[in-house]
Structure 1
Amino acid sequence: MKTSGVYLSGLCCEEAPYLFDQTDILTFMLRETQAGEVLQRHLKILYRASGIRRRGSFLPDFGMLQPAFFSTRPPIDARMQRYFEAVLPVAKQAAIRSLAQSGLETQDITHLITVSCTGMAAPGLDLQLMKTLALPAHTQRTAVHFMGCYAAFHAWRLAKAIAQQSPRHRVLIVDAEFCSLHFTPSTEPDHLLANALFADGVAACVVSACPGHAQAELLNFQSLYLPQGEDDMAWHIGQDSFLMRLSTYVPKLVESGIPALLQLYDKHSQANIEHWAIHPGGKRILQAVEKALGLPPAALAVSYEVLRNYGNMSSVTIFFVLQQLLQKQARGYCWAAGFGPGLTLESALLRLL
């Protein structure tokens, strides 16, 4: 039995426990990279132009003269162990809040989708949440891993397909990113840029065919692959950490592709968009979207606000943008978009309720 509408409810976003001003993180980076005079000037310009005021981390190191975890260059297994130690309590809290706001008990959940581009193991976050939340043993699980900043869109799309299969299905999504875990004191341009942008956070929501407690209706999804950007944004597992490749050409690629992505939606949908939830991958990316779509300055105000107050939390960030829109009483059609390795553009059309 297929149902008509599919809804998102219980959207909960959790900041990382340690919050740092961008200027304090700059001081840390100058010290850890042992920057000479030229690099110091470059980093100061980069951080001033980032559009970020503060960022959160699951580690206290970025505010310490003698970093605790990064006192040595920790290997990948130590970083993965720290991921689960730090993330699980916050992910559990987000899930519990999401269930409560959706009017659900743990036994109501039929499917669990976990999302992370920064931490992996087997058993992983999905089974750890199963255990700590006491979800039913027959809960069906899916892990969306290593897809980059657009991974949440895949989780939403999958959850919608599951919810359409039966009105009894209740899908819990938990997204947990620990980007700062992969700090490396490299002076490579890609690493310097990543170190200036990325932060940590957790989010959760429930997707179902039940309109009760609904905050948004999931309407449609579209995707666009730009193979010419394959070398401009990538995410690899290195010897010590996950390594980001992020070139300064990415905003130009986004600018060239985003109109075509929007045009994949029918003209009625395009004409009725009232709100824009654009992943704030960086200030230049938001400026590229504004320019390409001819948007007024106020259209992406929420995305700029999230970038300023939280930084780029990879796949979690779009949840924060959506939450801010809902808190501002935004209603009606909303177009969300995110960008990641490939280069891939992902999008969703929602109706905010």
Structure 2
Amino acid sequence: MSEALNPPPPRLTGLGTANPATSYSQEDVLRIFGITDPRVVSLFLNSHIERRYLHLPPLDANGVPRIETQGELLRKHRADGIELAAHALESCLKDMGADPADIGHLCCVTSTGLLTPGFSALLIQELGLPVTCGRLDVVGMGCNAGLNGLNVSAAWASRNPGRLAVMICVEACSAAYVFDGTLRTAVVNGLFGDGAAAVGLMAGGPAQGPEVLRFTSRIIPEAIEAMRYDWDEDHGKFSFYIDRDVPYVVGAHAEEAVGNLLRGTGLRRSDISQWIVHSGGKKVIDAVKINLGLAAHDLRHTSSVLRDYGNLSSGSFLFSLQRLTAEDVTRPGDHGVLMTMGPGSTIETALLKW
């Protein structure tokens, strides 16, 4: 009875990531697409991104990347997404010493395409996962969605002690590109990269790893149009838009979001030893750092993931968390904050304890 009233906290028991085989520097992408507009070149080269993993369009007879239709982009989203998710899941299961048959709940998160049935059903079929496992697809929530999916997965794990829940963030961002020479699309094309990340959660039993203590959410309705997908009639495909003021909107509400997360815990911001923030872009990282009074070292993994991968949308924070885990600097009793942000505009947070 007491376990039902006080379920054990879920723990993050394993992590795995995956990227396409091909990566490009910002200079490579500019050269391949023949981009010479100084405004676009400046966007690319001042992004603090060195390389991104991408599945670029095939070349035409003239050696120029061919313009892909929306149908081709959706097929890329499906094929690349399944491949990336499968590799990330395999790596995650290996990290925790589990088997595919152990999965009791599967949550798949994506923002770079629409599939029906979604990735959860496709992966069960493709990988032979248990047909009885619960599943959820989180679609279209943007870069913050990894923590939305983690919230649901953690709740399932807490209600089912000893059983494994897995969340996979699957983002084939190059399946959502529009190349039309405008600054609007250049912002997107110069920022996002392809990748997938999987995380396992378990409560009770032999679970190891940091406890997930709580989640909070803060939507900013007055900035609801700041990040969005629009249908581009001229090109016959969806086009993502990011307002130039997004970093300042996020920064202005970051302190409130973290305050809500820590309220009632007895913790202050100075008690948080580990910070994992979404790699949304250089200006976003700087805005969060300034408004929360953090040092560059606090956001070292956020910045290095942006440098090496670009913005990986919903999975970015798991790439950073993986680097923190590999660093092996956390100690029992340490607390950490996970923060993601995206369309809504929304800031999601989670509190961890090692």
Return the TM-score normalized by structure 1: 0.91
How far apart, CA to CA, are the structure 1 residues paired with 2:341 and 2:33?
Answer: 26
Choose the corresponding residue for 1:246, options 242, 248, 272: 242
Contact 1:118 1:242 in 2 (8 A): no
Choose the corresponding residue for 2:351, options 344, 349, 352: 349
- Residues 346 and 21 (structure 1), Cα distance of their counterparts in 2 relative to 1, 3 Å cut: same
How far apart, CA to CA, are the structure 2 residues paired with 1:312 and 1:65?
Answer: 30
**What CA deviation, in whole Å up to 9, does each residue of 1:127-175 have, x standing for no partner?**
1110122122211110010100011101110011111212143211121
Q: CA deviation at 1:319?
A: 0.8
Corresponding residue for residue 125 of structure 1: 119
| Residue 35 of structure 2 is aligned to residue 44 of structure 1 | no
How far apart, CA to CA, are the structure 2 residues paired with 1:325 and 1:237?
Answer: 38
Residue 130 of structure 2 aligns to which amino acid in structure 1? P
Choose the corresponding residue for 1:71, options 60, 66, 69: 66
Q: CA deviation at 1:100?
A: 2.6
Choose the corresponding residue for 2:338, options 329, 336, 344: 336
How far apart, CA to CA, are the structure 2 residues paired with 1:218 and 1:138?
Answer: 26
Corresponding residue for residue 22 of structure 2: 18
Per mean C-alpha deviation after superposition, the further-off stretch among 208-217 and 79-88 is 208-217
Identical-pair percentage? 27
Contact 1:90 1:202 in 2 (8 A): yes
Contact 1:281 1:312 in 2 (8 A): yes
How far apart, CA to CA, are the structure 2 residues paired with 1:259 and 1:178?
Answer: 31
Q: How does 1:94-173 map to 2 (within 5 A)?
A: 94-173=88-167
Residue 155 of structure 2 aligns to which amino acid in structure 1? A
Query: Over aligned residues, Cα RMSD in angstroms?
Result: 2.0
Corresponding residue for residue 59 of structure 1: 56
Contact 1:162 1:169 in 2 (8 A): no
Q: CA deviation at 1:213?
A: 5.3
How far apart, CA to CA, are the structure 2 residues paired with 1:324 and 1:206?
Answer: 16
- Residues 51 and 100 (structure 1), Cα distance of their counterparts in 2 relative to 1, 3 Å cut: same
Structure 2 unaligned blocks of 5 or more: none
Contact 1:235 1:341 in 2 (8 A): no
Instruction: State the SS of the aligned residue for 2:132.
Output: coil
Structure 1 unaligned blocks of 5 or more: none
Residue 350 of structure 1 aligns to which amino acid in structure 2? L
Contact 2:47 2:191 in 1 (8 A): yes
Ranges of 4+ aligned residues in structure 1 off by more than 6 Å: none
- Residues 224 and 56 (structure 1), Cα distance of their counterparts in 2 relative to 1, 3 Å cut: same
Contact 2:113 2:176 in 1 (8 A): no
Per mean C-alpha deviation after superposition, the further-off stretch among 101-110 and 249-258 is 101-110
Instruction: Give the length in aligned residue pairs.
Output: 341
Contact 1:18 1:60 in 2 (8 A): no
Q: How does 1:147-296 map to 2 (within 5 A)?
A: 147-210=141-204, 212=206, 214-238=208-232, 240-264=236-260, 265-266=262-263, 268-270=266-268, 271-296=270-295
Contact 2:8 2:204 in 1 (8 A): no
Residue 335 of structure 1 aligns to which amino acid in structure 2? V
Instruction: State the SS of the aligned residue for 1:263.
Output: helix
Contact 1:101 1:213 in 2 (8 A): no
Instruction: State the SS of the aligned residue for 1:269.
Output: coil
Instruction: State the SS of the aligned residue for 1:338.
Output: strand
